[in-house]
Amino acid sequence: MTGGVRLFVALTLSAAAFVACGDSGNSDGDGGGDTTLTVFAAASLTSTFTEMGKDFEADHDGVKVEFSFGGSSDLVSQIQEGAPADVFASADTANMDKVTADDLQDGEPQDFATNTLEIATPPGNPAGVTSFADLANPDLKVVVCAPEVPCGAATEKMEAATGVTISPVSEEQSVTDVLGKVTSGEADAGVVYVTDVTAAGDAVEGVPFPESDQVVNTYPIVALKDSENSDLAQDFIDFVLGDQGQSILEEAGFGKP
């Protein structure tokens, strides 16, 4: 073999090795073998489901859980319009009923948690809110969820149960938006869930009120009919309903269904 031929062969083999290594690296780097599970979940589940997603991924090699958090009514609208999703977790049964009425579910919804309302104020509670009745004070800037959102529907039920009428300065599309108004100082108080106050930590001050047990929201979860990962969707639901998922929810302040 001449020197020129040897050089040609050596360069050819080196190039082939480089391409092979490059291909292997790209495959590992872009996660080409991963399966993505898309979960639509109520905004009040943000912290708990994010934690569950990490644990679920750790138990399911090659699986990536992607969440879309928002007001349950907005999420239902997206599902009805054909947005791709594998699992839906609602903050109330009313919005889940919209999904089942359109026959968009795969199987029967299962209840996995409950939640009650609490008042959130800026740190130090500068307006001195001490009760649900205080929210009727016209001098207070109060923010609530819109009526079509579970926390807003619950607030309306609470008003009816207590005879308190709130005149909010704004109605938001999710509890996270309500908390945003409170933490930014745009509101003296907001009506959210107990779990939202817990998750917010020092960013807000919670004001519990005894009437809160009169209105309890039940959270259902279901796999969606158009899911391309139906078995994996059911695995995630089983995780939420299982001991590990229930423990995470309990630590966050959710009640048992």
Contacting residues for 114 by C-beta, under 8 A, at least 6 apart:
216, 217, 218, 219, 254, 255, 256, 257
> Could you tell me the mean pLDDT of each successive run of 10 residues in the chain, 257 residues long?
44 40 36 82 97 97 97 97 97 98 98 98 97 97 97 97 97 95 96 96 97 97 96 98 98 96
Helix (H, G, I), strand (E, B) or coil at 229: coil
Percentages helix, strand, coil for the chain, rounded to the nearest 5? 50, 25, 30
Under a CB-based contact definition with an 8 Å cutoff, are residues 105 and 99 in contact?
A: yes
The pTM of this model reads 0.84
Burial zone of 171 (CB within 10 Å; 0-12 exposed, 13-18 middle, 19+ buried): middle
User: Residue 33's CB: how many other CB atoms inside 10 A?
Assistant: 9
What is the structure's pLDDT at 1?
52
Under a CB-based contact definition with an 8 Å cutoff, are residues 144 and 178 in contact?
A: yes
What is the structure's pLDDT at 22?
40
Strands (E), the chain: 35-42, 63-70, 87-89, 105-115, 117-121, 142-145, 170-172, 189-193, 205-207, 217-224
Nearest to 219 by CA among 193, 199, 200: 193
What is the structure's pLDDT at 33?
58
Contacting residues for 242 by C-beta, under 8 A, at least 6 apart:
none
pLDDT digit string (tens) for 82-127? 999 999 999 999 999 999 999 999 999 999 999 999 999 999 999 9
What is the structure's pLDDT at 83?
96
